[in-house]
Amino acid sequence: MNTQTPNEKLSLLRSHMQQHQIDAFIAMSADPHMSEYLPEYWQVRLWLTGFTGSVGTVVVTQDFAGLWVDGRYWVQAEQQLNNTGYILQKQSHDPASTHIAWLAQHLTKDAKISVNGQNISVQQYNALEDIAKQQQFKLETHLDLISEIWHDRPALPLQTVWQMADGLNALTRVEKISAIRDALSTKNASAHFVSSVDDIAWITNCRGRDVEYNPVFLAHLYIDHSRTVLFIDDAKLSPELQANLEADHIEIIAYAQSAEFLKQIQNQVVLIDPAKVSILHAQAITLHNPVIQDINPSTLFKSCKHPSEIAHVRNAMIKDGVALCHFFHWLDTALKNGESINELSIDEKATAFRKQQQGFIDLSFSTIAGFNANGALPHYRATPDHFSQIVADGLLLIDSGAQYADGTTDITRVVPIGTPSNEQKRDYTLVLKCHIALAQTVFPEGIASPLLDSITRQTLWKYGLDYRHGTGHGVGFALNVHEGPQVISYYAPPTANTKMRVGMITSNEPGLYHEGKYGIRIENLVVNQPKVFADKTYGNFLEFETLTLCPINTQCIVLDLMTTDEKAWLNQYHQTVRERLSPHLQGEILNWLIENTQAI
């Protein structure tokens, strides 16, 4: 096992930079698929710095090393970068705060910048290239400095891929590929290259275990009007699955051969998603072919769940709700009995109850169990080296989720421990009011999803409060817990691709965080459904159906701050939770559910 410290790795990296005459090195939090969650082989930023957040960009020169992260990670990064040689760079929505702006300001003319072309997207590379042209920098994309110094680097994963059970998917993979070909024709493209692993899993109706939490597998996919090629290590495919894929006219070519294959194709107009394809693959395509840059058609298709898929998700929500009733009953009982509880045991217990449910595959992300100050870190994760005991008074934030064969879940609840303060109760109520405001929203079909964010935050803004993360992200169908294209966040630009459409599943998760004190977040998943009006003069409208089934703690609510309408929403929600979960519970657990879904 490599026992080098970040400082030692930094010194080694700088030595190899000198050998290759590299002035600045960039490490993106990405792999050749531009994934959020990375196989260990591609966790370069983590290996270099020790920072465990899900995203960040590293820049190293001979006299500087920095890590750029957004506001979700400022506190965490400041703690984890202590004595590593890296300096926290607080990235905001100001273009001057980016690593690219830093490069423009601090590098001299003719500086040589190295970034691995395998894990920088076309979109990211274009932004870097613009600065390079302005400042006369040189870009090197074919050098993999990390492989030269990471001697015990893990191998790429080879987990078995499986085909989803019959009846789960509304369309066959042949039908999905046909729909993509039709979409290509409308864009005047003749071929399409896909690297994003969740798109490929959706298109092929297959799932895998190559990446932690996301049921996906490492592969690339090429589609034209006569040919479909899946680039994958065939060791992952059973003879039966390989035969099924070939029966659907999908060729299998080795994963490592994707770039060479693309260099050989000619006379095609190739559609690529610039945010989801590496510059290495794009350069291979453009040797002999023009490209069209646009969103993957499959990204738009899979974002709108079929009614049958939504029905499966509702079933997954029942299983998740049952598991959480068992968990919260355990938590309440353990607290009353004075048992020793910590953030790690919270994670262990919640996971154990979920594992008992039929069709459980894995968690959908690492459980966030943060007590008091730890709850103020939106992406906190307790570790054996750093965790808190659940003692004294305060708030316990629990953000967790699971992957089931028939759906993906993501839920956040806050539990009062001991006697919460008046300030904590007020803040909890304000966040709940924000949650209800979005849950009740009716909006025009096709509205850009970022525009809904101000409706959610209005209550907090009236108190001069806010939070530094989005209010909602798309969620896959038994797939990635974070998927696009929709996002409810005023930080995101409204675009044609972020329009709200029927069948989209999105999180509703407003929060509030006081650094060093406590954090609050209340999260359910919701799905866009038609809102029918007799008068169609002003077009079609949508509303949210709340999918998540779990009581929202009412002990912290300041009733005087709640309107009659808000109380009615919460009471109706709890009635729905009780009706759908009661048939699956009995004894003390059923009594717990009934007690915690009483009307306020």
Going by C-alpha positions, the residue among 199, 196, 252 that lies closest to residue 227 is 252
Which element (helix H / strand E) includes 263?
Answer: helix 258-264
Same domain, 137 and 203: no
Question: Residue 432: inside a domain, yes or no?
Answer: yes
Tens digits of per-residue pLDDT, 312-324? 999 999 999 999 9
CA dihedral 177, 180, 185, 191 (to 10 degrees): -70
Inform me whether the pLDDT recorded for 1 exceeds 70. no
Domain boundary, last residue among 263, 296, 329: 296
Give the side-chain half-sphere CA count within 13 A for 465.
18
291/313 same-domain check: no
Report if residue 154 sits inside a domain.
no
Which tens digit of pLDDT belongs to each residue from 371-430? 999 999 888 888 888 888 998 899 999 999 999 999 999 999 999 999 999 999 999 999
* Structural domain count of the chain: 3
Q: Residue type at 306?
A: H
End-to-end CA distance of the chain: 56
**Among residues 149, 172, 191, which one ends one of the domains?**
149
C-alpha–C-alpha distance, residues 416 and 435, integer Å: 18
Same-domain pairing of 126 and 251 = no
Q: Tell me, yes or no, whether 167 and 143 share the same domain.
A: no
Q: How confident is the model at residue 73 (pLDDT cuts 50, 70, 90)?
A: confident
Residue 342 burial (CB count, 10 A) = 16
With beta carbons less than 8 A apart as the criterion, state whether 193 and 430 touch.
Answer: no
Structure tokens at 221: 């996919």
Average pLDDT over residues 277-294: 98
Write down the pLDDT at residue 384. Answer: 84
**CATH number of the CATH domain containing 67:** 3.40.350.10
Q: How confident is the prediction for the chain on average, in pLDDT?
A: 96
User: Is residue 600 in a domain?
Assistant: no
Whether residue 126 is found in the same domain as residue 167: no
Mean pLDDT, rounded, for 156-172: 96
CATH code for the domain of 392:
3.90.230.10
Examine the domain organization and report whether 177 and 266 are in the same domain: yes
Q: 446 vs 476, 496, 499, CA distance in Å?
A: 19, 9, 5
> Residue 541's pLDDT band (boundaries 50, 70, 90)?
very high
Establish if 28 belongs to a structural domain. yes
Asked whether the predicted pLDDT for residue 561 surpasses 60, the reply is: yes
Does residue 573 contact residue 552 with C-beta atoms inside 8 Å? yes
- Whether residue 228 is found in the same domain as residue 308: no
Question: Residue 153 and residue 146: Cα distance in Å, rounded?
Answer: 9
The pLDDT value given to residue 44: 96
Q: What is the pLDDT of residues 457-469, one digit of tens each?
A: 999 999 999 999 9
* Per-residue pLDDT, 2: 60
- Mean per-residue pLDDT for 284-303? 98
Structural domain containing residue 291? 162-296
- Asked whether residue 377 falls in the same domain as residue 488, the answer is yes
User: Domain for residue 479, yes or no?
Assistant: yes
Predicted pLDDT at 305: 98
Measured in whole angstroms, the distance separating CA 138 from the mean position of its chain's CA atoms is: 33
DSSP code per residue over 66-87: EEEE-GGGHHHHHHHTTTSS-E
- List 488's β-bridge partners, or say none: 472
Residues 370 and 515 in one domain: yes
Domain assignment of residue 155, yes or no: no
329 and 426 inside one domain = yes
**Which of 264, 214, 259, 219 minimizes the C-alpha distance to 117?**
259
Please provide the DSSP assignment of 428-488 as one string: HHHHHHHHHHHHT-EEETT-BGGGGHHHHHHHHHHTT---SS-SEEE--SSS-SSEEEEEE
Residues 341 and 489 in one domain: yes
Identify how many contiguous H helices and E strands the chain contains and give both numbers: 18, 28
Residue 487 domain-assigned? Answer: yes
Residue 1 domain flag: no
Q: Does 514 lie in the same domain as 386?
A: yes
Domain end, chosen from 102, 127, 149, is at 149
Tokens matching residue 82: 């202590």
* Percentage of the residues of the chain whose pLDDT score is greater than 90: 94
Any alpha helices (H) in 286-397, and if so which ranges? 297-303, 307-336, 343-355
